[in-house]
Amino acid sequence: MSKHIYIYSPSSAVRDKAAFRRGVKRLQALGHTVEVDEAALSSHQRFAGDDETRLAAIGRAAASGAQIALISRGGYGLTRILDAIPYKAVAKAVSRGTEFVGLSDFTAFQNALLAKTGAVSWAGPSVGEDFGAVDGPDDIMEACFDDLICGQGEGTGWRLPARDGEAPTLRHVHDAVLWGGNLSVLVSLLGTPYFPGVDKGVLFLEDVHEHPYRLERMLDQLRHAGVLARQRAVVLGQFTSFKKVPHDKGFSLRTVVDRLRSQLKVPVLTGLPFGHVPTKVLLPVGAKVEMALDGRDVFMVWGHRDAHHGHHHH
């Protein structure tokens, strides 16, 4: 189904232009009409243009009328401009059917949007690193993206990794707001008006290049802030590309997760296929989800979301 995809750059400058072009071509090859924002390849210091340029790009994405507004890449740039993002215009675009998709630094945008307007956006791929991957896009990611494009996505599922110990007990979760994203970026919203006040939600987290001691410090911050205990479940995605050091002496991601579980009554599920990895599902940030566990198999369903989008329901 041919759709209109609007590509823009709200965060870091696109340095790998070859990957960007591959991504655009891939989306075109899938039959979509790809519109590239006029500032998508702008560069100012680390950023894809100065703050005004990137804010204007967000505004154009919101005004584009596209089915999908997709980020070129993540990086860094959105926390700088949280007090100037046109949240209402974005929420209006969402209500008219534009799905905002991205990850990593985009977590700031997504959760601030949720906090300010309640509008749903999608944790998912970026153009360069996903659609522009040298070996081609990941099949599962592309299938999930296609589901979103077609309005057919109703949920996702995965198997709890055996290495993470016994499956936790999970009572059937329903009517829970799904939220979260990149742990570092989400935690950088704590204490500000851009941190969503979600109670009894499902919080999903991933991160990249962060040593387990930093992951633990951030998880403890969420715990001490009372955020984790207020959720129905905490779902851990992929934590990748950190370097162990000799000083660790047995301290690891595993000990961090084990300790978190020992401290929380809330179930902590692992293995979500999302993060800075090729195989990623798309997740509706701010949508109500149901979640259940059958043995080691997790099912998450968001079939009842946003009737005004005209999507069908299960």
**Among this protein's residues, is 64 annotated catalytic?**
no
Residue with smaller CB distance to a second copy, 175 or 248: 248
The two structure tokens encoding residue 226: 């009372």
Is the Cα dihedral 266, 270, 272, 278 positive or negative? positive
Interaction of residue 2 with a second copy, rule CB under 8 A: no
How far is it, in rounded angstroms, from Cα 313 to Cα 305? Answer: 8
Q: Which is nearer to a second copy, 20 or 122 (CB)?
A: 20
Q: CA–CA distance from 313 to each of 85, 129, 143, 305 (Å)?
A: 32, 31, 19, 8
What's the closest the beta carbon of residue 249 comes to a second copy, in angstroms?
A: 5
Closest approach of a second copy to the CB of residue 215, in Å: 11
Under rule CB under 8 A, how many of the chain's residues touch a second copy?
35
Residues 6+ apart with CB under 8 A from 285: 110, 111, 114, 120, 121, 122, 123, 178, 179, 180, 181
- The residue behind tokens 């001691």 is 213
Length reported for the chain: 314
* Run of H or E residues at 80: none
CA quadruple 67, 204, 126, 77: dihedral sign: positive
Out of 11, 129, 210, 276, which one is annotated catalytic? 276
Q: How far is the CB of 144 from a second copy (least distance, A)?
A: 29
Select which of 35, 99, 206, 216 is catalytic: 206
Binding mask 160-199 toward a second copy (x if CB under 8 A, else -) reads ----------------------------xxxxxxxx----
Q: Is 83 in the site for a second copy (CB under 8 A)?
A: yes
Find the helix packing angle between 253-263 and 212-224, rounded to 10°: 20
What are all long-range contacts of 54-57, with beta carbons under 8 Å and residues at least 24 apart?
A: 54/9, 54/10, 54/11, 54/81, 55/81, 55/84, 55/85, 55/86, 57/8, 57/9, 57/10
Distance CA 46, CA 41 (A): 12
**Which of the residues 28 through 57 are near a second copy (CB under 8 A)?**
43, 45-47
206 included as an active-site residue: yes
Residue 140 CB contacts under 8 Å (≥ 6 apart), including other chains = 273, 279, 280, 281
Residues 202-241: x where in contact with a second copy by CB under 8 A, - otherwise, as a string? -----------x--xxx-xx--xx-x--------------
Q: In this chain, which of 15, 21, 60, 296 binds a second copy, going by CB under 8 A?
A: 15
Q: Which of 41, 56, 60, 76 binds a second copy (CB under 8 A)?
A: 76
Of the two residues 117 and 263, which places its CB atom closer to a second copy in the complex? 263
Of 83 and 135, which CB lies nearer to a second copy in the complex structure? 83
104 is catalytic: yes
Q: Which residue in 255, 279, 297, 312 binds a second copy (CB under 8 A)?
A: 255
Residues 12, 104, 126, 188: which is the catalytic one?
104
Binding site for a second copy (CB under 8 A): 12-13, 15, 43, 45-47, 76, 79-80, 82-83, 188-195, 213, 216-218, 220-221, 224-225, 227, 247-251, 255
> Which residues are tagged catalytic?
104, 206, 276
